[in-house]
């Protein structure tokens, strides 16, 4: 039985990769990699890292709050995608 196309039906803009995504992923902080493993959207390492840096700055370095910020950002994007379809 084939796997369902989990993230391919999104109407969100797709971008071409400019570097090796696995090596970029390996350089991410461990809490961010763990969050990405359960994320609903196919985040690129670059955009995930950019959002992580913003979250850590706004949450004053509190990892738990930063992870909550990431989840909230992803929910906003999913709601936006739902409205577009």
CB 62 within 8 A of CB 27: no
61, with CB counted inside 10 A (0-12, 13-18, 19+), is exposed
Q: What is the pLDDT of residues 69-83, one digit of tens each?
A: 999 999 999 998 887
Q: How much is the pLDDT for 55?
A: 98
pLDDT above 60: residue 84: yes
């Amino acid at each position: 039985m084939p796997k369902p196309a989990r993230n391919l039906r999104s109407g969100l803009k797709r971008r071409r990769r400019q570097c090796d995504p696995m090596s970029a992923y390996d350089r991410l902080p461990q809490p961010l990699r763990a969050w990405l493993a359960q994320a609903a959207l196919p985040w690129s390492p670059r955009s995930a890292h950019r959002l992580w840096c913003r979250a850590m700055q706004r949450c004053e370095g509190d990892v738990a709050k930063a992870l909550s910020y990431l989840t909230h950002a992803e929910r906003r994007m999913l709601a936006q995608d739902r409205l577009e379809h």
